[in-house]
Structure 1
């Protein structure tokens, strides 16, 4: 697959698009002066403890208090020993705690945090508070998994844990060791700040959007990274030189280019905001986001097939499965997702559609879980939600129809 990353820097925003075989697959952006808080580490103060919810609210100095669930409050060491204390046994009001942002605040909710701090690098994730070695579940080759575990155990720093990332497939011992050393040095600087900074303050910033994209999105399938701004290009070059030298040959400066116009991305974004998405065959999807979950309906539409009804249904559902995986990434849809594929009477066809859906979701960096087909013939799945959906970021409820429709925000990002 041919992948191209477009980095467009504008006066107010930095916008990034991932193209897969010339089709828009993902969108990311952030305000240049603001940035994302996911991955940030704060020295917080416990505001209140709620035993009935098994959670606590942590004041980290932001507009809204952060939410700390008991599973994220228990130290990993206790989890491994099978000890599951109550939230009231772990935290007390007024207590200082070190927390890291897991998810941005969505709607009226504050950000979600964890006490189990991690520092991601290009090859590994460092867990400075636990002694553990793990490998990404996405690495399925057992031989490669064993090799990586052996390498990790040799380069592991005593008292610190590491998780080998999917990007580490094929990486050698020197590359993993260098990544771990960089992360260890970063942790030492964070500890120094913790001792100096007052409560309710930021002690570590998780990195700019461009750094996160280089670290988390880029893999061997990405052929080019095109950048329209010289300063950003130099920053990316320096990051690659320190963390991933082979990446430098894929960086291309195209100063002043307007990728959004050149690749007609605005039209693709407008399509992704519509409930109906057409398939090439003539079938279509209807995607409806609700507060509780997202519902996707598959229809044959204009496609009438050539042989028989079952073959028509099978082909439509297979095409829909691939497109659904793309739309979930493009629209940044998370949480519970229910898919109503067209009814299939052949068991092997049902399994084939599930297999294609799971295979297509392998390209998605966000964790997904396809649970299977219910007795009603619906496919249930989940996708980890780490930020607002495309619709909620770019549009708002219409004031003229009591929120039944949505209109562009007054200051649209696109």
Structure 2
């Protein structure tokens, strides 16, 4: 049984996805208008830094946005110049530019922006100037990949590009074509607004969490969708009738007052969230994970703890590491961790066991909706991977830095 739970409280919206009662995904937004990723702005170049091959662009957010040269060049690699030019040849201070946010402002850093525009739809992603058709790697059947790639080639016009999402598998050309037409019209309206807007100005706002969840997460394998906010429930009904009418019957309104318990408590989500965001996570076998997260780097330490096994040390270590790989993959999605991730698995003598652990994590990475790349073992025996970082992760939204210790969590041993 796969369920999606959407808990709304004022401007806060939290979404949890459960598989047979176990939490596998979690998203949250402070308001339907708080996210910046996907927004399109008309900005003004403030400064060009040839030494960094980057420019800073004022898009009206207080902190200037960062634009790297690779995000100025043509999105199709084959159409880029053989030798990368200086950024001073492409943009000048004072120049007005249409850009799209690809990464939220985080800490002291402003948003990162690009000119490689993408507009996501239900079945595909529309790219107005990419010039190619791509297919999700999660669509495995070669015959289906070829079919929807050919449809994409027929649908795109001129320099347009299309990426067929995983949800496009099995869809008819009529549905895919309707998606393209809607996104093409949206891009046309963005361009029309840009002609008259005075920089800095917002030209397009990406959908809020509710619409994104319905569009991206609510698929045919979702058995139930529960919402506890009547207004958001009505909005979700309208969205489903617009996007996928056959799924509208799976929406259910949870009446907390009548149930005398919250939606998340009713399905056991609250305790699972607290456990998932703690610094020490216990594994079912008795082993544990110690999780240490900074702005740019996440370090995870795997321990056998109370798990002593039944056969031998190598077998105990291997079983703990395999269980840890599964749990780490789940927690990376729930916590929405981005950046560099280093995992200190328990040392294994058997090389084939090391390969199996890495293969297990790589298998999960392929299923992750966020791009995740496993690089392999370092010379120190650590496993390295990266996960795309676009929004501030849930851990930082759910927690506050302690004003007394600055977040170190250590008590002074000095006595007065």
The TM-score bracket by the shorter chain reads over 0.9
Which string of whole-angstrom CA distances, capped at 9 and with x for unpartnered residues, describes residues 251-273 of structure 1?
A: 22224473133234333232233
| Equivalent-residue separation in structure 2 for 1:85 and 1:79 (angstroms) | 15
More displaced 10-residue stretch of structure 1: 212-221 or 306-315: 212-221
Whether contact under 8 Å (2:317, 2:348) holds in the other structure is yes
More displaced 10-residue stretch of structure 1: 243-252 or 378-387: 243-252
1:151 aligns with 2:155: no
**Residue aligning to 1:226:** 226
**Residue aligning to 2:408:** 404
Whether contact under 8 Å (2:27, 2:334) holds in the other structure is no
User: Could you say what secondary structure the match of 2:36 adopts?
Assistant: coil
**Residue aligning to 2:70:** 71
Deviation at 1:33, TM superposition (A): 6.0
Unaligned runs of 5+ in 2: 411-416
**Residue aligning to 2:196:** 196
**Residue aligning to 1:61:** 60
Quick one: higher RCO (CA 8 Å, sep 6+), 1 or 2? 2
| Equivalent-residue separation in structure 2 for 1:382 and 1:78 (angstroms) | 22
1:392 aligns with 2:396: yes
Deviation at 1:78, TM superposition (A): 7.1
Counterpart among 284, 304, 311 of residue 308 in structure 2: 304
Unaligned runs of 5+ in 1: 407-414
**Residue aligning to 1:331:** 335
Which string of whole-angstrom CA distances, capped at 9 and with x for unpartnered residues, describes residues 307-357 of structure 1?
A: 111111111111000000011111221111111111111222111111211
More displaced 10-residue stretch of structure 1: 378-387 or 260-269: 260-269
Whether contact under 8 Å (2:303, 2:346) holds in the other structure is yes
| Equivalent-residue separation in structure 2 for 1:392 and 1:31 (angstroms) | 12
Which string of whole-angstrom CA distances, capped at 9 and with x for unpartnered residues, describes residues 86-110 of structure 1?
A: 2111110000100001111011111
**Residue aligning to 1:412:** none
**1:173-212 alignment to 2 at 5 Å?**
173-212=173-212
**1:274-293 alignment to 2 at 5 Å?**
274-293=278-297
Whether contact under 8 Å (2:104, 2:391) holds in the other structure is yes
Which string of whole-angstrom CA distances, capped at 9 and with x for unpartnered residues, describes residues 241-299 of structure 1?
A: 22222322322222447313323433323223321100000000111113441111111
Whether contact under 8 Å (1:217, 1:365) holds in the other structure is no
**1:295-374 alignment to 2 at 5 Å?**
295-374=299-378
With normalisation by structure 1, the TM-score equals 0.93
| Equivalent-residue separation in structure 2 for 1:234 and 1:157 (angstroms) | 36
| Equivalent-residue separation in structure 2 for 1:217 and 1:309 (angstroms) | 41
User: Could you say what secondary structure the match of 2:234 adopts?
Assistant: helix
Number of aligned residues: 405
Whether contact under 8 Å (2:32, 2:208) holds in the other structure is no
Would the alpha carbon gap of residues 19 and 305 (structure 1) be closer, same or farther in structure 2, given more than 3 Å must change?
A: same
Deviation at 1:145, TM superposition (A): 1.2
Whether contact under 8 Å (2:74, 2:80) holds in the other structure is no
**Residue aligning to 2:36:** 37
**Residue aligning to 2:413:** none
| Equivalent-residue separation in structure 2 for 1:103 and 1:309 (angstroms) | 44
Whether contact under 8 Å (1:3, 1:21) holds in the other structure is yes
**1:163-182 alignment to 2 at 5 Å?**
163-182=163-182
Which string of whole-angstrom CA distances, capped at 9 and with x for unpartnered residues, describes residues 2-33 of structure 1?
A: 32111112123122111122122222222336
| Equivalent-residue separation in structure 2 for 1:332 and 1:240 (angstroms) | 26
Deviation at 1:195, TM superposition (A): 1.8
| Equivalent-residue separation in structure 1 for 2:76 and 2:145 (angstroms) | 24
Would the alpha carbon gap of residues 362 and 130 (structure 1) be closer, same or farther in structure 2, given more than 3 Å must change?
A: closer
With normalisation by structure 2, the TM-score equals 0.92
User: Could you say what secondary structure the match of 1:222 adopts?
Assistant: coil
| Equivalent-residue separation in structure 1 for 2:159 and 2:174 (angstroms) | 20
* Structure 1 stretches of at least 4 aligned residues deviating more than 4 Å after TM superposition: none
Whether contact under 8 Å (1:335, 1:385) holds in the other structure is yes
| Equivalent-residue separation in structure 1 for 2:144 and 2:120 (angstroms) | 21
| Equivalent-residue separation in structure 1 for 2:379 and 2:219 (angstroms) | 39
Would the alpha carbon gap of residues 291 and 78 (structure 1) be closer, same or farther in structure 2, given more than 3 Å must change?
A: closer
RMSD: 1.9
